[in-house]
A and B are shown apart, each in its own frame.
Chain A
């Protein structure tokens, strides 16, 4: 029963608190965190600026300057702790987890996959087997962070989990699909980065002109499918 997962609450600075369900990557725990974040967001509590789910936690950032003027006896922090406790203890199970399954094309052509041959060697498998394993699993977006819209997805099949690169690349192009540990991710914008790059998607994960600028959010489900270089260039979003 998810309600039974123990949690703790602590300050993340004087203007934020974190609710943590421990320190491991787990589907049920992450689901709990994402649902809690959505539920809190719906309440539209005055003074709350950001609700940030992560693997096994949610951090709530608030406008201390505003709230501190309105506090009476209690600290703003204590009021926030009460709010979180009440929500977690009372009506947690009301919002169903509706995960959107998003199919994302990936071109594994060697021109986009500088680390694929090395990973094949590391895992003693053919490149096609690595691709089959990477595309054969439905992943959960545990969180976004690092870059706008960068999804931390997992878990990878153990057979292709791989360490980060020893020294990060100075430039990883937008759309690059990478592996780090049991995670897979996609670089939404050009950036330096240390993940093993195994392909590239033509899907734009970040578009600042859109009202919802990021293609993926925590709680989404993702499955990759392979496309050729030609299909990559012909792809229209």
Chain B
């Protein structure tokens, strides 16, 4: 079972839930930018939710599906087509061997995820298969995929069901991700240095819109907005930062740390995006605008609890449908 890359994408890497336990050494966690999409595409094909998946940006790779396999796509909508026929996101799809999977046009979102039932074989480094581009470790040879790479997938019995004659079989159920994503505003809990901001600066941070600058990647999103001014500079010793940390740069602009963030930093931490909203943020791209909404830790934890419940329900429903489907065959 294998996937063969027939055309380069912009940045296509294998990612899982991240590499934790080594941040004290300066090794960042990485992992899927949109963890909800990673989990949903895995759940749809009956995998463990944190199985390595292929994360792709636009333009995405062109992929030859060399053997019959059950796949799912989720996250951004890049108009996926199999042998020219569009397939929807968030459905299990049984694909016939020698099919071509292409992504034609970016409709919305920034990152699309591909799962394969049984899992994609990936190299683990420090307990994670996530690709670490800085140290060239993990995933597929520690790098982004390119033309002529072949990804092997673990053999499963179910993929043998693809019948000759059909390019693909679209399973008739989908994972509804509607209430798991937000648009337009993202919640943050105030950071330790938020209290040092002058009143007027706080007001600007809470009431104006910010847009994602083109200098944004898997390490961090640089924002553009009305400059946030300090009464006087804040000099800090470096300390740990985390995914979602909003730092105030000396020029008055903000940066939000994403999956491949540095482990430590010395800029004022004016806020931290709540974990529940990471995936929504991960689907923004340059030029997109949003507002920041301050919440407290209770709201952040309750939002996360609800998200876990919603994902569990989707997982239960998908497992039921998948088992039922294969049982009936």
Chain A residues packing against B (C-beta within 8 Å): 10-16, 18, 20, 23-25, 37, 49-57, 59, 61, 63-65, 68-69, 71, 75-77, 143-150, 152, 189, 206, 208, 213-214, 217-218
Q: How many residues of B contact A (CB 8 A)?
A: 46
Q: Which residues of B contact A16 (CB under 8 A)?
A: 240, 242
- Residue B178 at the chain A interface, CB threshold 8 Å: no
Q: Within the complex, which residue of B126, B192, B239 is in contact with A213, where a contact is CB–CB below 8 Å?
A: B126
Residue pair B135, A145 in contact (C-beta under 8 Å): no
- Residue B152 at the chain A interface, CB threshold 8 Å: no
Residue pair A13, B275 in contact (C-beta under 8 Å): yes
Known A-B contacts A145-B238, A148-B25; A13 and B20 likewise in contact (beta carbons under 8 Å) = no
- Residue B262 at the chain A interface, CB threshold 8 Å: yes
Known A-B contacts A53-B24, A213-B27; A65 and B240 likewise in contact (beta carbons under 8 Å) = no
Residue pair A52, B238 in contact (C-beta under 8 Å): no
Residue pair A213, B23 in contact (C-beta under 8 Å): no
Residue pair B300, A14 in contact (C-beta under 8 Å): yes
- Residue B297 at the chain A interface, CB threshold 8 Å: yes
Residue pair A51, B305 in contact (C-beta under 8 Å): no
Which A residue's beta carbon lies closest to that of B299? Answer: A14
Q: How many Å from the CB of A145 to the closest CB on chain B?
A: 3
Which A residue's beta carbon lies closest to that of B35? Answer: A65
Residue pair A25, B300 in contact (C-beta under 8 Å): no
Q: Within the complex, which residue of A54, A69, A147, A217 is in contact with B240, where a contact is CB–CB below 8 Å?
A: A54
Known A-B contacts A13-B242, A52-B263, A65-B308; A25 and B237 likewise in contact (beta carbons under 8 Å) = yes
What are 6 A-B pairs at a CB distance below 8 A? A13-B273, A51-B24, A64-B304, A71-B305, A144-B24, A152-B238
Q: Which residues of B contact A144 (CB under 8 A)?
A: 24-26
Q: Which residues of A contact B305 (CB under 8 A)?
A: 68-69, 71
Known A-B contacts A68-B304, A75-B298; A15 and B134 likewise in contact (beta carbons under 8 Å) = no
Q: Which residues of A contact B191 (CB under 8 A)?
A: 12
Q: Could you tell me the distance between the alpha carbons of A75 and B137 in the complex, rounded to whole angstroms?
A: 36
Residue pair A208, B137 in contact (C-beta under 8 Å): yes
Which B residue's beta carbon lies closest to that of A49? Answer: B20
Q: Could you tell me the distance between the alpha carbons of A68 and B243 in the complex, rounded to whole angstroms?
A: 18
Of listed B26, B125, B236, B300, residue having the most chain A CB within 10 A: B26
Q: Could you tell me the distance between the alpha carbons of A23 and B269 in the complex, rounded to whole angstroms?
A: 14
**Contact pattern, B 235-276, Cβ under 8 Å of A = 1, otherwise 0:** 111111111110000000000000000111000010011110
Residue pair A145, B263 in contact (C-beta under 8 Å): yes
Q: Which residues of B contact A55 (CB under 8 A)?
A: 237-239
Residue pair A54, B237 in contact (C-beta under 8 Å): yes
Q: How many Å from the CB of B150 to the closest CB on chain A?
A: 23
Q: Could you tell me the distance between the alpha carbons of A25 and B239 in the complex, rounded to whole angstroms?
A: 12
Residue pair B272, A52 in contact (C-beta under 8 Å): no
Residue pair A37, B262 in contact (C-beta under 8 Å): no
Q: How many Å from the CB of B190 to the closest CB on chain A?
A: 9
Residue pair B20, A54 in contact (C-beta under 8 Å): no
Q: Could you tell me the distance between the alpha carbons of A214 and B192 in the complex, rounded to whole angstroms?
A: 30
Q: Within the complex, which residue of B126, B240, B298 is in contact with A12, where a contact is CB–CB below 8 Å?
A: B240
Residue pair A189, B308 in contact (C-beta under 8 Å): no
Of listed B125, B243, B297, B308, residue having the most chain A CB within 10 A: B297
